[in-house]
Structure 1
Amino acid sequence: MNKGLIIQTRPGVGDLCMFLPYIQQIKEHNKDFEFTLITKKRTSAKQILKYDPS
């Protein structure tokens, strides 16, 4: 399995929500990749993505 890294440098929750569809499209078009998403703590990504099945 190939691996990829996505770094989301914007600081806010809204920024994460705005870029989430793009991140999901990257994952959808690269199904053989395992992605790691790096965000800033204050985006609350851990809470937002906790229930995301992808």
Structure 2
Amino acid sequence: MELTPEQLVAEFQDAVMELYFARKRIAVLEAENAALRTRLEATEQRDT
């Protein structure tokens, strides 16, 4: 299947947008992970 130049551009733009939102989601997950690690460390220190 061959794509027209317009279709290739549209596919590229879609891929760029997917990457943009994936990176935003990764940043949110990393922040959530850091907060959970901090809570876990605090809980472990309190329990010992």
Instruction: Identify the TM-score tier after normalising by the shorter chain.
Output: 0.3 to 0.5
Which of the two has greater strand per residue?
1
TM-score by length of 2: 0.35
Which of the two has greater helix per residue?
2
TM-score by length of 1: 0.32
Structure with more contact order per residue of length (Cα contacts < 8 Å, sep ≥ 6): 1
